[in-house]
Amino acid sequence: MTKSATLLYRTTDSCSQQKRRGAKAALFVGAALLISAAFTGAASAQTLGYAATPDSRIFSADDPAMVAPDQAAPDDRGAGVADEDTLLPDRLRRTVVAYDSTQPPGTIVIDTAHTYLYYILGGGRALRYGVGVGREGFTWAGTQTITRKAEWPDWHPPAEMIARQPYLPRFMAGGPGNPLGARAMYLGSTEYRIHGTNDPTTIGKFVSSGCIRLTNEDVEDLFSRVNVGTRVVVLPKTAPRQIEARSSSSHRMSRLNVSTTAID
By annotation, the residues acting in catalysis are 195, 211
Distance CA 218, CA 200 (A): 10
59 by DSSP, 3-state: which?
Answer: coil
Distance CA 120, CA 189 (A): 23
Listed residue (227, 226, 150, 162) closest to 193, CA to CA: 150
**Distance between CA atoms of residues 151 and 103, nearest Å:** 27
Measured distance CA(182)–CA(198) in Å, rounded: 9
Q: Which DSSP category does 62 fall into?
A: T
- Return the amino acid letter for 51: A
- 187 pairs with which residues across the strands? 146
Other beta carbons within 10 angstroms of residue 86's beta carbon come to: 9
Q: Which helix (H) or strand (E) holds 221?
A: helix 216-225
